[in-house]
């Protein structure tokens, strides 16, 4: 089994001695119960990764000696999933499984037919939950990069993302073309703008939303013969694209 991954603060991996403290140090010391001599990997969440050996364990801290470090290039093409807000805690579920599957960025979207609404008084708390979920899932998946979770977007902002993408895809149950057959950019590994995938709400897209996305140059694609929930459609689409683009 590969060594566990813990997230260091920005700049910490520049040093040969790293002290994990706060929630991360507490988790390493009291939950994972690390001991002196164990090998761990530390990542800064932005691509830098270090192989380390535990040298000291305190009550809420762990001291690590860096043995080697390297920077991992960002995966290409960049894949962003625009996720319509699901009900309840299924938003965190969507973020978790997409992070495990390698998504680069998640954009929460307030679609017209979303049952869930991030009111101003709860938006910041909901966004923190999504970001914390991405952070923990990245550690579980042994990732060196934590996916970006953007601010809540409206339909005009999503249309702008699609317009700027090398390939914009709207998952739609009535699309004529399957996602597995959508034409990719000539060299997806060298694509500027990346791939943006839009996952709609349980109630479906409105005509106005589809018109805005069509005008932005997005293509509509079908995942398969079954209708997936909004919280699982994103990870299914991501898996197809990862394989087709050579990232998997």
What topology is assigned to 5-71 in CATH? Ribosomal Protein L25; Chain P (2.40.240)
Q: To 5 degrees, how large is the angle CA 34–CA 39–CA 40?
A: 75
Reference 172, options 116, 115, 230; nearest CA is 230
79-245, which class in CATH?
A: alpha beta
User: What is the model's pLDDT at position 188?
Assistant: 64
The span from the CA of 134 to the CA of 145, in Å, is 10
CB atoms within 10 A of CB 196: 26
The span from the CA of 126 to the CA of 109, in Å, is 12
Tell me the pTM. Answer: 0.92
% of the chain surpassing 90 pLDDT: 88
pLDDT tens, position by position, 135-168: 999 999 999 999 999 999 999 999 999 999 999 9
Dihedral sign for Cα 36, 40, 46, 48, please. positive
Secondary structure of residue 40 in the 3-state scheme: strand
Do 5-71 and 79-245 come out as alike in CATH topology? Answer: no
Could you state, in order of their start, the residue ranges of all structural domains in the chain? 5-71, 79-245
């Amino acid at each position: 089994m590969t060594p566990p991954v813990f997230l260091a603060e920005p700049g910490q991996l520049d040093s040969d001695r790293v002290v994990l403290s706060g929630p991360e140090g507490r988790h390493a010391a009291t939950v994972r119960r690390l001991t002196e001599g164990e090998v761990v990997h530390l990542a800064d969440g932005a691509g830098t990764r270090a192989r380390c050996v535990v040298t000291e364990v305190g009550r809420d801290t762990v001291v690590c000696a860096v043995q080697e470090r390297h920077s991992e290039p960002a995966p290409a093409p960049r894949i962003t999933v625009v996720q319509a807000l699901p009900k309840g805690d299924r938003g965190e579920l969507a973020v978790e499984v997409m992070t495990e599957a390698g998504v680069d960025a998640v954009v929460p979207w307030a679609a017209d037919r979303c049952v869930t609404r991030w009111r101003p008084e709860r938006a910041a708390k909901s966004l923190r939950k999504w970001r914390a979920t991405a952070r923990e899932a990245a550690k579980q998946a042994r990732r060196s990069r934590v996916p970006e979770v953007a601010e809540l977007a409206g339909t005009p902002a999503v249309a702008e993302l699609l317009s700027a993408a090398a390939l914009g895809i709207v998952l739609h149950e009535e699309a004529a073309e399957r996602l597995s057959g959508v034409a990719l950019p000539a060299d997806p590994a060298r694509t500027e703008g990346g791939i943006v995938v839009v996952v709609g709400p349980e109630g479906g897209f409105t005509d106005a939303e589809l018109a805005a996305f069509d005008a932005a140059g997005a293509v509509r694609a079908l995942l398969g013969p079954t209708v997936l929930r909004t919280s699982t459609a994103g990870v299914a689409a991501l898996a197809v694209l990862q394989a087709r683009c050579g990232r998997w």
